[in-house]
Amino acid sequence: MPGAPGRRPGTHSEGSTGADEWRTLRPFREGDSPRQVDWKAYAREAPLLVKEYSPPGAETRMFEFARLTDPDIEARISQLARWVVDAEARGDRYGLALPGICIPPDRGPQQRHRCLAALAAWQP
């Protein structure tokens, strides 16, 4: 995110326009707002589906070893691990890029484990 105000070197961000962004469709459940129903799909005889949105602030982040400038390798790995843990806590989608390793963006405990395990096992 170099060059962007408030962004840290070593990260790249996509999304987060300040408004919720459409993420996926899911089956309608009792209590869902009629405003979230995909009425166009329903008109085409699809089942009743509801649009899901990402919450404000949820972003897709790519944490890249190569963008960090600290000459200390352990400090870079520590920083990347911190960003992974923080992104998971916020519910962001995130990925990790190390020399020779690229973990595509995702979220959840398995993604956190993949990223932290890659950082722990990676050798320069």
| Angle formed at CA 31 by CA 30 and CA 33, multiple of 5 degrees | 120
Cα 111 to Cα 107: distance, rounded to the nearest angstrom: 5
Cα 105 to Cα 14: distance, rounded to the nearest angstrom: 11
Do residues 88 and 121 make contact, with C-beta atoms less than 8 angstroms apart? Answer: no
pTM of the predicted model as reported, rounded to 2 decimal places: 0.58
Give the confidence band of 20 by pLDDT, cuts at 50, 70, 90: low
Give the confidence band of 56 by pLDDT, cuts at 50, 70, 90: low
pLDDT of 18 reads 47
Half-sphere exposure of 73 (CA within 13 A, CB side): 7
Do residues 22 and 51 make contact, with C-beta atoms less than 8 angstroms apart? Answer: yes
pLDDT in tens, 101-121: 999 998 889 999 999 999 999
Cα 5 to Cα 17: distance, rounded to the nearest angstrom: 15
